[in-house]
Each structure stands twice: as C-alpha cells, then as structure tokens.
Amino acid sequence: MSASDGGEAGLPGGAAQKWSLLADDWALTWDGVAAQVYAAIADEARLGPGVRLLDVGCGAGGLLAAAQADGVTAAGIDPAPKMVDLARERLPDCDIRLGGLPDLLWAEEEFDLVVSVNALLFAPDVYEALAALMRVCKTDGQVAIALWADDVGNDLDVLEQAAAAAGGPAFGDGGPLRRDGGLAELCREAGLEDVRSRLVPTTWSAAGIDDLLRAVIPGEQSGPSSSASRLPEVHRAVVDAAQPMLAEGKYTLRNSLYLCTGHVRPNT
C-alpha cells in the first residue's frame, strides 16, 4: 500500500492533496534546496554515523538523501501522500511516514537533530509545531528550522510577483517569521537555547523555459513551449522577469533562507 492510498494528515483544507498533485514538479525543481540547507547545518554540527536525524516536511527526500550519504540514520515525515511515495521510492531503507505537525509519529527524545525546511508555516499553530519538534529531539540535541527569507533579494520572489501582476496566483507575504530576526525570536520564545540564525544562500538552475515555469508555477505548465512568444500572458510575464537570470541558455535563481538552530536543554 502506498502513502497515496492514505488520508491527508497534517495540512488543513485539502492542502495535502494539492501538494501531492504538485509533487512531481516540485521534486524535479526545488527538492535540491533542502540538501543545500543540510550542507549548511552539517558545517556547524558533527554529523555522521550514529547520529539520528528527523526531517519534518521531508518532501521528496532531498535532505534525507544528503544525510544518508554522510552515514546519518535519517527518518522523514510529510503530510502529502505523493511526496511520501516519491521519498520512499528514492530511499527504500529510510523510515518515512505520512503525517505532519504537530502530530509527529515518534516517541519523545528519539533524535539527535530535528530539521524542518520551509514547512513550519504550514502548521496550524507554529508554537505547537515547534513544541512538537522539540518533543522528539533528545535533551542537548538540536533543532534546525529554515524558511525562505522574504526581506532579502530573492529571485523567486521577483518571478512570483511578476506572475501575480499578470493575473496569476498570488503567493502572499510570508509574514514576520520570514524576515530578519523573526524565526530566531520564535525559537527563543519556545524555549530553545543557544539560538543562532543566519542566511543560507542557495541556487537553482532551469535548463529552459519549461523547467523555469514548472518551478515558479508548479502544476500549471501543461506542455513544451519553444519560445516565450507562444506562452500565455502569465507565463510570458515570468519569462520576461527572468531575463536577467538567463545566461548561456540556462536560468539561475539565487534565493536565501533563514536558518535558525537551537538546543533542547533539560526542562525546556
């Protein structure tokens, strides 16, 4: 039985089903960003054999694959059934479960490191969600959370704004947690100690127009488009806005995330 045969856990209002429909496009585009965040975490933490890691909102398994390559014992959870199916297919020996915040399906203090990349804001209550991350983390273990940084120059923001201005989907403001200091303040309020926050630069490349549109407006790119002149208005607006990001036939998007880490101490 695949996860796609199950229900929608951890996301309200059918959002899990939406993410399942977008899973293939997302896996081909943004899945690698989580692995870049993992590399930033690994720069600061001693990760390797014997370390147990949980990725909450693991998507198609990009971060889990990077962790396993380091010898880390990795586990993951995601509320979108198709994402879980993709991750399990990619990593058949990894413990990957269907579910989401705040109802994590592990006992207390099971992991040395609990990671969540671009997932916290989808939780119904961010304080309850962060408490859940801390619950499954061992005492003196570490929680690491990353979210897109909305208040710095992110190429993805530029393209999403172009799409919205042309009548496409409006992606909205990520709120204070995606601005400088917001995520760190939440972590301190929740009881994490030794909280550190920094920007993590990431890059993503698209081989052509179709890959670019698949990343910026997932699920809406319906077929090959040989030139911008043949695209619908919203798609053409994205391609026009992406011209400064085009070099040698390839689009390169530079985006940053706020990465916040903290330790779980006794009685927190």
pLDDT at 108 over 60: yes
Residue 53 inside a domain? The answer is yes
Degrees (nearest 5) of the Cα angle 157, 161, 165? Answer: 175
Residue 78: name the closest of 102, 105, 98, 92 by CA. Answer: 98
DSSP state of 9: -
* Residue 142 token pair: 């570490």
166-213 per-position pLDDT tens digit: 988 777 667 888 889 999 999 999 999 999 999 999 999 998 999 999
- Residue 152, domain CATH: 3.40.50.150
Name the percent of the chain lying above pLDDT 70.
88
Determine if residue 173 is left, alpha or beta; phi over 0 gives left, psi from -120 to 50 gives alpha, anything else beta.
beta
- Tell me, what's the pLDDT at 99? 93
Residue 268 inside a domain? The answer is no
- Tell me, what's the pLDDT at 112? 96
* β-pair type (250-263, 193-206): antiparallel
* β-pair type (137-148, 73-78): unpaired
136-159 per-position pLDDT tens digit: 999 999 999 999 998 677 899 899
Distance CA 192, CA 268 (A): 7
261 and 44 Cβ atoms separated by less than 8 Å: yes
- Tell me, what's the pLDDT at 222? 45
Which range is least confidently modeled, 114-123, 161-170, 179-188, 236-245? 161-170
DSSP state of 1: -
Dihedral sign for Cα 35, 37, 40, 45, please.
Answer: negative
Residue 199 inside a domain? The answer is yes
Distance CA 54, CA 95 (A): 9
Which range is least confidently modeled, 127-141, 180-194, 213-227, 233-247? 213-227
Dihedral sign for Cα 23, 103, 64, 57, please.
Answer: positive
Residue 11 inside a domain? The answer is yes
Average pLDDT taken over every residue of the chain: 87
For 28, the domain range is 3-263
28-53 per-position pLDDT tens digit: 888 889 899 999 999 877 888 999 99
Residue 114 inside a domain? The answer is yes
- Tell me, what's the pLDDT at 64? 96
Total domains in the chain come to 1
Residue 78, strand partner residues: 98
Q: Which residues contact 116 (CB under 8 A, 6 or more apart)?
A: 55, 56, 57, 101, 133, 144, 145, 146
- Tell me, what's the pLDDT at 170? 76
Residue 32 inside a domain? The answer is yes
Residue 161 inside a domain? The answer is yes
Residue 127 inside a domain? The answer is yes
pLDDT at 13 over 60: no
pTM to 2 decimal places: 0.88
Q: Calculate the CA 224 to chain-centre distance.
A: 27
* Residue 205 token pair: 């490349």
- Tell me, what's the pLDDT at 267? 72
